Amino acid sequence: MISKSFNFNLPEAKGDLILDMNKKYHLTEQGLTRLKDELDKLIEKRKEKTKGEVPGVLHSEDLNPEYLDFREKIHFLERRIVKLKEVIKNAEIIEPPEDKKEIRLGAKILVEADGQEDEFILVGSLEADPAEGKISDESLVGKKLLGKKTGEEVKVSCKVETVYKIKKVEY
Amino acid sequence: MENIFHFISEIGKLKADGRRGWKLHEIKDPETTASHSFQMAMLVLILGMKKDKDFDLERAIKMALIHDICEVYSPDLTSYDAAGIDEEDEFTKEDVDSLVPKKTRPTTKQRRKMKRVKEELEKEAIEKLTEDLPAEIGGEIREIWEEYEKRVTPESKFVKQADHMINLMQGIEYWKQGYEEIEHNLWIRRAKEVFDDPELKDFLIELEKSLSRP
């Protein structure tokens, strides 16, 4: 059962989200650009999905399952769009600190752990991508590194203890 | 229905082959991609139920079930393969077959190179796998898989970390069985860099505690 027009009210996406409108999101320039690109793609996708034929609300006397499925997909897109707009609106670009030896968000850190060197960029949770070397400040290692300086060591332990020697910090 | 039958039949191949990472450790009867995905989907379901209503649990479960289906056609590349990449040379999908894995921790540079090539191969595979499905179904599967790969949404970030957790759990399980070559300490170290999800961080603490249990 297909209707010719887009004939239902979009769900109130905002009402379904727990949004803290005052929350600040600390992002790198690159991270913010990535989110803006993602937002553009989602808006484009929503446009594509809602153009053309849209399933009708009723199939015989029952609710049309195709309509429910369609509505759910649009709802998902709406939620993502609202959330991303909120993040972008409240984004604060990370600025390097005065003391460039101190680890803050956005720092590129060279560490040595278990005799092996590795490099990380410390970012907020939204931007974290460990496969790209971007570790979150909310990870167990990220939390410990935050605020430390070149030459210092941090221990991350539970049953297994690892010592990270901070060899270089740059922005 | 013929195309759906074919798709499900192809997916069934994931029940047969042991995962490459375990084969490199010469583990007898290694876990398959299908069994990995099942346990991972359960972890996503249970921990996902603890999350607030902003989290789309249904989407996350679909993602867990879909995340590795590309392995029907794409190679099951591991971090040991990444460790075999030459940091200075260019690395393309043509180089995959001649890659010699190294049982060490890959550097960030090697991980990045592997990520690009793996994504390219897996994208080709998921397209091949879903191309004959009804457009709506195939489209949704590709969309969810791409979302997982991009790791921008809370669901995809969580599911990726759950994937990592199940690999870690299985590795520790094998280590406990006597496969001492598995460098579980190194894996736990990596996990502490990767996990920032609150539930998974708590789960990791439990996993670490289990190391001393008989």
Partner-chain residue, chosen from B111, B189, B201, that has the shortest CB–CB distance to A162: B189
Span A123-168, pLDDT tens digits: 998 899 888 889 999 999 999 999 999 999 999 877 778 899 999 9
Tokens of A19: 């949004």
Tokens of B139: 């489209």
Place of tokens 């609150």: B198
Domain ranges of chain B: 2-153
Q: Is the pLDDT of residue A3 over 50?
A: no
pLDDT at residue number B214: 54
- Closest listed residue to residue B30, CA positions, set B65, B69, B76, B63: B76
Which of B196, B201, B208, B211 to mutate to probe the A interface, most A CBs <10 Å?
A: B196
Q: Is the pLDDT of residue B191 over 70?
A: yes
ipTM at complex level: 0.76
Q: Which CATH class is domain B2-153?
A: mainly alpha
Report chain A residues touching chain B, CB-CB < 8 A. 16-18, 34-35, 38, 73, 76, 79-80, 83, 113-114, 116-120, 125, 128-133, 135-142, 156, 158-160, 162
The answer to whether A89 touches A10, Cβ cutoff 8 Å, is: no
Tokens of A76: 């998902």
Span B17-74, pLDDT tens digits: 899 888 888 899 999 999 999 999 999 999 999 998 778 899 999 999 999 999 999 9
- Closest-CA residue of chain A to B187: A160
pLDDT at residue number A49: 80
Span A33-67, pLDDT tens digits: 989 999 999 999 888 888 777 677 766 677 777 77
**Higher pLDDT, residue B211 or A82:** A82
Question: Rounded mean pLDDT of A82-101?
Answer: 88
| Cβ-based neighbours of A76, under 8 Å, separated by 6 or more | B56, B59
What residues in A contact B81, CB-CB < 8 Å?
none
pTM: 0.80
Tokens of B142: 């590709």
All domains of chain A in start order, with CATH: 2-93 (1.10.287.180), 108-170 (3.10.50.30)
Residue B111 to residue B9: CA distance in whole angstroms: 33
Band the pLDDT of A20: cuts 50, 70, 90.
low
